[in-house]
Amino acid sequence: MIQISEEISRSAQINQRLTEMRERHGYPQNHKNDLLMAYFDIIAEHHQAIGLLIKENLIGSSFAFVRPIAETLYRAAWVNACATKQQLEQIFVDDDFDFPKDMMEKIDTAYSTQDFFQNLKRLTWKSMCSYTHSGSLQIARRFGGNDGYVGPNYSEAEILEVLRATTAMLILIAILFFKGTGCAKEALEVERIGLNAESD
C-alpha cells in the first residue's frame, strides 16, 4: 500500500500544478468568475492544510476540513451552472444567502450527472459533519491506544482516503473553474491529471 508520506507529496504536487495553471493568465472579472476563483483558492488552501496537518499528526483537525472542501465544491458547481445574476450579486455581499435546499438536484440536472451529486452528498455528508463538529466519529478516534491514551487514532486507510478524496475534489473544482471561465485547454489538462492520479 502506498505510504501516507508519498500520498501527501503527490497531492501537494497536484495542488501546486493546478495553482500554477490558474495563475497562467487573467480572467474576465465578473461575479461568477470571481466566485469561482475564490472557491478554487479556498479548496486549494484547505487541501494544502490537510497535508500539513497530517504531517504534524493533527489528524482530527485535517479530517475536519473535508466538509468545508465538499461544501465549497457544491457551491461552486451551483454558482457556475444554476445561479442567476441577482443570486451571484447577493452571494458576494450576504453571508445569510440561502443556497437552495434542492441544490444537489439542480446541480445534477445542470451537469447531466443523473444523481451523482445527490448520492455523493447523501453517502458522505453525515460522516463529514461528524468529523467537523466533533461528533461521534471524531470522538471515537480519540481513543484506542494503551494506558488510557487520548489522542488521534486513525487508520492509515482512513488517512489515505481523506487525502485522495480531497485531491479528487480539488481536481473537480479546477475542471469546473477552467470550463466555467472558458479555458478548455486547461480543463483538458486537469482532466488528464485526474486520470493519471486515479491510475497511480
* pLDDT per residue as tens digits for the range 34-83: 999 999 999 999 999 999 999 999 999 999 999 999 999 999 999 999 99
Does residue 107 sit within a domain?
A: no
* Nearest-angstrom CA–CA distance, 183 and 177: 8
Output the CA torsion sign for 53, 57, 63, 64: negative
pLDDT confidence bin for 145, thresholds 50/70/90: low
The pLDDT score that the predictor gives to residue 1 is 43
Percent above pLDDT 90 for the chain: 81
* Nearest-angstrom CA–CA distance, 58 and 146: 19
Q: How far is CA 70 from CA 38, 76, 129, 170, in A?
A: 14, 10, 11, 9
Does residue 135 sit within a domain?
A: no
Domain that holds residue 55: 4-20+30-79+141-199
Does residue 111 sit within a domain?
A: no
C-alpha cell at 163: 487525502
Does residue 46 sit within a domain?
A: yes
Does residue 91 sit within a domain?
A: no
Does residue 117 sit within a domain?
A: no
Does residue 102 sit within a domain?
A: no
**Residue 95 one-letter amino acid:** D
Query: What residue spans of 4-65 are helical by DSSP H?
Result: 4-22, 31-55, 59-64
Measured in residues, the chain has a length of 200
* Nearest-angstrom CA–CA distance, 38 and 43: 9
Domain count for the chain:
1
Does residue 114 sit within a domain?
A: no
Q: Is residue 96 within 8 Å of 88, Cβ to Cβ?
A: no
Q: Write down the pTM of the prediction.
A: 0.92
